[in-house]
Amino acid sequence: MRKPLITGNWKMNKTITESISLIKELVDFVKGYQETEIVICPPYTSLWVTKELIQDTNILLGAQNMYFQDEGAYTGEISASMLQNIGCDYVIVGHSERREYFHESSQEVAWKVRQALSFGIKPIICVGEKLEERESGSAREVVKEEIEAIFEVLKSQDAPGVVFAYEPIWAIGTGKSATSKDANDMIQYIRNLLKEKYSEKIAEQIRILYGGSVKPENIKELMAESDIDGALVGGASLKALAFSQLVKFRE
């Protein structure tokens, strides 16, 4: 059985002061809740204070990005050892905003996956198509290419520890979520690729999330699908009440 995972991606929001109040509220709202794994990914500047505030709670810490080199002259970048030292459990890699605005290639995303794993940090690997790719019927092809780049670096013994997130770009921040059936279809397709590459047993252990305008109003329907194992949430993760409702989608 795959434990549901609800991850909040705060993106470029929240100062340290704002982070502290959001985390305190959230810790209270989800106190003791064990049915869902809860991960929050604040901006780098708030990672340390977040780690302190979620110590001994049921909330885990993730970063939104990292660089694939060990250390050195890479101004503005953050390494896996820095994230490990803070105590990050997860790191988001290959978010469509990184791929689009910062021109990250699938090859770089794969290197980041390899680097995160070698530091014991679980990558949440984002894939997804643009609106024109969906409309022209090439959504699966795009997702397949992004996944195949990961296959180059992901060994079968590491595969069960990674998380994939299918985020159709046209559904991100638009209020327009994919239908739960469309999301599940693509996630099943991804799971089949994982089966072919690794094995049925491994593919059944890997969690695949959906992301794109997830909110309290649509979480139940999404989570009722056979293959959706959780959500990667942007906007709704910035409000403690809404995020806690996502975490407790079963109630």
Both structure tokens of 176: 């327009």
Closest CA to 9 of 46, 54, 52: 46
> Which residues from 128-187 bind ligand 13P, rule CB under 6 A?
167, 172-173
Tell me whether residue 198 or residue 232 sits nearer to ligand 13P (CB atom).
232
- Please identify which residue in 111, 117, 234, 242 interacts with ligand 13P, judged by CB under 6 A: 234
Tell me whether residue 67 or residue 210 sits nearer to ligand 13P (CB atom).
210
Residue 232 found at the interface with ligand 13P (CB under 6 A): yes
Residue 42 found at the interface with ligand 13P (CB under 6 A): no
> Which residues from 80-119 bind ligand 13P, rule CB under 6 A?
95
Number of other residues whose CB lies within 10 A of the CB of residue 132: 10
Tell me whether residue 116 or residue 198 sits nearer to ligand 13P (CB atom).
116
Contact between residue 232 and residue 7 where contact means Cβ atoms under 8 Å apart: yes
Closest CA to 178 of 142, 139, 213: 213
Contact between residue 96 and residue 172 where contact means Cβ atoms under 8 Å apart: yes
Residue 213 found at the interface with ligand 13P (CB under 6 A): yes
The C-alpha atoms of residue 69 and residue 173 are separated, in whole angstroms, by 31
141 an active-site residue?
no
Selected catalytic residue, list 95, 108, 129, 133: 95
Both structure tokens of 15: 């100062």
Report the nearest approach of ligand 13P to the CB of residue 163 (Å). Answer: 12
Number of other residues whose CB lies within 10 A of the CB of residue 211: 27
Residue 233 found at the interface with ligand 13P (CB under 6 A): yes
103 an active-site residue?
no
Contact between residue 9 and residue 224 where contact means Cβ atoms under 8 Å apart: no
Residues annotated as catalytic are: 95, 167
Interaction site with ligand 13P (CB under 6 A): 9, 95, 167, 172-173, 211-214, 232-236
